[in-house]
Amino acid sequence: MEPKLVIATKADAQAIFDIQVAAFTPLLQKYKDYETNPANEKIDRVITRITDPNRKFYKIIVNQTLIGGICIYSKEETRFWISPMFILPSYQGNGLAQKTLQLIEQMYPQAKSWELLTILEEKRNCYLYEKMGYTKIGLHKKINDNLTLVYYKRVVR
């Protein structure tokens, strides 16, 4: 399975929102992070991400099927933030997140660094980012007794 990234438009908002909810609901149920979990957002937040001129929201397509999304925010000309990135649960575990990150980095050759947040307790997520060259930068944000967000950064050489 090879992912393809296509810029999302406002017309894609509902489909992207539905996939975002499906992807993040298991984590919402597990960690009860109602204030921060993307499954608990309103569709307006997805529309804002898609239409914000400082962001690029990409649909992740596999075999002509929309299976996820990734939003890139430019903090500076060479510093980028990933939030959110998600893939339908039925497509997870197939290397698609890794391939998506590789594609994004190829699309932004000017990038000197990439940053993101993930759940410290989700070892699979942490493993993915560390495998891709991201390192924890020491910042943690305790959300509740069960969940801590951890900051990751990848410096591009």
pLDDT tens string 62-90: 999 999 999 999 978 899 999 999 999 99
- Report the pLDDT value the prediction gives residue 75, as an integer from 0 to 100: 78
Q: Tell whether the torsion through CA atoms of 48, 51, 56 and 57 is positive or negative.
A: positive
- Judged against a pLDDT cut of 90, whether residue 39 lies above it is answered with yes
pLDDT confidence band for 29 (50 / 70 / 90): very high
Tens digits of per-residue pLDDT, 46-55?
Answer: 999 999 999 9
> What is the structure's pLDDT at 44?
97
- Topology of domain 4-155, CATH: Aminopeptidase (3.40.630)
Query: pLDDT digit string (tens) for 87-116?
Result: 999 999 999 999 999 999 999 999 999 999
Q: How far is CA 112 from CA 56, 82, 150, in A?
A: 17, 14, 20
Name 13's Cβ contacts closer than 8 Å, sequence gap at least 6. 43, 46, 47, 50
Band (pLDDT 50/70/90 cuts) for residue 1 is confident
